Amino acid sequence: MNRRDLLKAAIAIPFLPAVLPRMFAPAWAGQAVIAAGSRSRVRPGDPAWPSVARWDELKRDVGGRLLKLESPFAGCGMTPIGAGCSEALKHLKNPYYIGDQPALTQTSGWVDAWTSQPSAYAVAAESTADVVAAVNFARDHRLRLVVKGGGHSYQGTSDSADSLLIWTRHMNDASLHDAFVGQGCAGRQAPQPAVTVGAGAMWIDAYDAVTTRGGRYVQGGGCTTVGVAGLIQSGGFGSFSKNYGMAAAGLLEAEIVTADGKVRIANACTNPDLFWGIKGGGGSSLGVVTRLTLRTRELPEFFGGVFGAIKAASDDAYRALIAKAISFYQSDLFNPHWGEQMVFRTDNILRISMVFQGLSQPQVEKIWAPFLDWVHARKEYSFASPVQVLAIPARHFWDAEFFRQHAPGIMVADDRPGAPRDHVLWAGDQGQVGQFLHGYKSAWMPASLLHKDRQSALVDAVFASTRHWQMAFHFNKGLAGASAGEITAAKDTATNPAVLDAFALAIIAAEGPPAFPGMSGPGPDLASARDDAAGIGMAMKELMRVAPAAGSYVSESDYFERDWQTSFWGTNYPKLAAVKHKYDPAGLFFVHHGVGSEAWSADGFRRLQGR
């Protein structure tokens, strides 16, 4: 029995019901069995599928905001091509367009896993009352329920055919508070600056309100089009997590509609168990979050980045470059000032995409000078792209107008007529728009690997990994090196505790161009995609030689993760399962590899026998 099996056995004992005559059942099995009386869900064409009259009642209840969905690519097979298809193809790489289509998702699919399919109907929610109506309708009619805000799920959790979608895109308001106190927390919680955002808000909406216009900071996602609610529920990391901690740890209060249709406030003083579960327990597993209030912080004087790429002339030189980069990170960058990535490519190129906060450009140049001098002094290295340092006033970091004037190529705007001027994304993120994933694996890398006596083994593992596929260390997605206060705050979330001692999240992934069903052309090259997936698997296997028990980040992980309960949540999973059973005993809310999903078939429609 390996370490994980022992762990599961140990934590299972308090949850074992009498009806389970198994000595070492997983800790979550008891919760699933207790809810076994629930029935499977219905699809269109089933006798129990709601009648037209019933759908009309729901439409009246939500003020006419019930939509029958069809993919805009459905008209691509017509002659001539339909107007909807032409418009969709025109904006195929515009994430704001895709996000405004309730029938689409930001990722078009994953080989042998899922493809983007529209729900049968969607409630385009504009209020909490709309969400309540949709939840009650789905529960009463045994429907598969899907929730989508930003729609960025790599796992396809904001997507399912034959379902009812609660689409929160229009619930995107943002308001600032000078002295917020959570409901029921008066006298127990000091007032603090905060921002309240609707469930459909994207991070650019929050950053525009808090930073560009408000002059403060809120910890959120690096990609501007990611949904606020989804990121918080998954734990959440921004570019500056080493200084500001996890996004979920900054949650002060949430409004959530649970499976019984009740609107609940969740904070440290009211429904604290539900509040804890929302903070990293995974999106749309415990209910529909409709509103979030997040802590805001003072801005430093500067945000900035260091970008470039270094080419090694031989394998031996590349191994030496990897060793120098890891040593340099440990000695000079392993602190709250630094985040983002170093990418180790298969062609012996190290790509640097680091960001910093609280440092000036001269300070950063001084920090990097010894490393760059070392590279310049050796003829076996050249610069595939020059290493550049850029520092800007922190208030302008997400300021679209500032970048239009001073650095027009760094951000890409929503190109549709009348689009909000602040709706931009980093140019480097555009390749993700509509992507069809071939594979995606991640692992928390323990900080012990940075110790002098372990660095050589880490270097060997990184080099061996790059013989199969490129890999990246996302240093901001690990809290080792952060302040004690931020680590303490992160402990009070449902995220796998492995993040507390991780210096980075290692990510190995591959993708192809958009491949939404209905698009013209041959579609994705599945054979090539499967070859890529095999290469990714071999690359991660090499890395796991030095971190065999590493967990994974739920939002950026393998669709086919086998031990996902332990990998995503570690010792927190039994407590999450108990919260799930308390607020959703019948399993209305289902997402792939979400809390309680082991009780259902892979598509979430059929309850498994004995579960």
Rounded Cα distance between 406 and 159, Å, is 39
Would you say the CATH fold of 174-298 matches that of 52-167? no
Backbone angles phi, psi at 167, to 5 degrees: -105, 110
Please determine, for residue 6, whether its predicted confidence score (pLDDT) is greater than 80: no
In contact, 498 and 550? CB cutoff 8 Å:
yes
Which comes out higher in pLDDT, residue 543 or 4? Answer: 543
Domain at 300-412: CATH architecture: 2-Layer Sandwich (3.30)
In contact, 150 and 227? CB cutoff 8 Å:
yes
Rounded Cα distance between 510 and 537, Å, is 11
User: Which residue has 């249709």 as its token pair?
Assistant: 261
Rounded Cα distance between 453 and 55, Å, is 65
Question: What is the tens place of the pLDDT at every residue in 509-538?
Answer: 999 999 999 998 889 999 999 999 999 999
Distances (CA, A) of 383 to 368, 390, 442, 471: 15, 18, 28, 19
Question: What is the tens place of the pLDDT at every residue in 212-233?
Answer: 999 999 999 999 999 999 999 9
Rounded Cα distance between 433 and 88, Å, is 13
Q: How many percent of the chain have pLDDT more than 90?
A: 91
Rounded Cα distance between 414 and 225, Å, is 11
How many other CB atoms are there within 10 angstroms of residue 123's CB atom? 27
Question: What is the tens place of the pLDDT at every residue in 234-253?
Answer: 999 999 999 999 999 999 99
Distances (CA, A) of 174 to 130, 238, 281, 293, 355: 19, 19, 24, 9, 26
Rounded Cα distance between 26 and 569, Å, is 14
pLDDT-derived band at 36 (thresholds 50, 70, 90) equals: very low
Please determine, for residue 14, whether its predicted confidence score (pLDDT) is greater than 80: no
pLDDT for the residue 77: 84
Rounded Cα distance between 66 and 158, Å, is 17
Question: Tokens for 291?
Answer: 């509103």
Q: Alpha helix locations (H) across 396-522? A: 400-406, 455-466, 484-491
Distances (CA, A) of 328 to 66, 323, 346, 366: 55, 8, 21, 13
How many other CB atoms are there within 10 angstroms of residue 55's CB atom? 18
Question: What is the tens place of the pLDDT at every residue in 92-114?
Answer: 999 999 999 999 999 999 999 99
Q: How do beta strands 263-267 and 349-357 pair? A: unpaired
The alpha carbon dihedral of 64, 68, 72, 76 has a sign of negative
Rounded Cα distance between 312 and 474, Å, is 22
CA angle 49, 590, 112 (to 5 degrees): 95
Please determine, for residue 609, whether its predicted confidence score (pLDDT) is greater than 90: no
pLDDT for the residue 13: 32
Domain boundary assignment for the chain: 52-167, 174-298, 300-412, 434-561
Rounded Cα distance between 437 and 155, Å, is 10
pLDDT for the residue 610: 64
Tell me if residue 77 falls in helix, strand or coil: helix
pLDDT-derived band at 18 (thresholds 50, 70, 90) equals: very low
Question: What is the tens place of the pLDDT at every residue in 283-306?
Answer: 999 999 999 999 999 999 999 999
Question: What is the tens place of the pLDDT at every residue in 549-570?
Answer: 999 999 999 999 999 999 999 9
Backbone angles phi, psi at 272, to 5 degrees: -65, -25
Average pLDDT over residues 399-409: 95
Give the number of residues written for the chain. Answer: 611
Please determine, for residue 19, whether its predicted confidence score (pLDDT) is greater than 60: no
One of 3.40.50.11540, 3.30.465.10, 1.10.10.10, 3.40.50.300 is the CATH number of 174-298, namely 3.30.465.10
Rounded Cα distance between 397 and 204, Å, is 11
pLDDT for the residue 20: 30
Please determine, for residue 10, whether its predicted confidence score (pLDDT) is greater than 50: no
In contact, 149 and 106? CB cutoff 8 Å:
no
Sequence-ordered list of residues with C-beta below 8 angstroms from that of 547, at least 6 positions apart, any chain: 443, 444, 445, 446, 449
Buried-state track 81-95, b at ≥16 Cβ within 10 A, e below 16: ebebbeebbebbbbb
Please determine, for residue 22, whether its predicted confidence score (pLDDT) is greater than 70: no
Average pLDDT over residues 38-47: 90
Fold that domain 52-167 belongs to in CATH: 3.30.43
Peptide bond into 80 cis (omega under 30): yes
Rounded Cα distance between 134 and 143, Å, is 10
Three-state SS annotation for 490-528: HHCCCCCHHHHHEEEEEEEEEEECCCCCCCCCCCCCHHH
pLDDT for the residue 16: 32
Question: Tokens for 57?
Answer: 């009642």
Listed residue (254, 358, 258) closest to 299, CA to CA: 358
In contact, 253 and 167? CB cutoff 8 Å:
no
Question: What is the tens place of the pLDDT at every residue in 434-453?
Answer: 999 999 999 999 999 999 99
Buried-state track 296-314, b at ≥16 Cβ within 10 A, e below 16: bbebbebbbbbbbbbbbee
pLDDT-derived band at 17 (thresholds 50, 70, 90) equals: very low
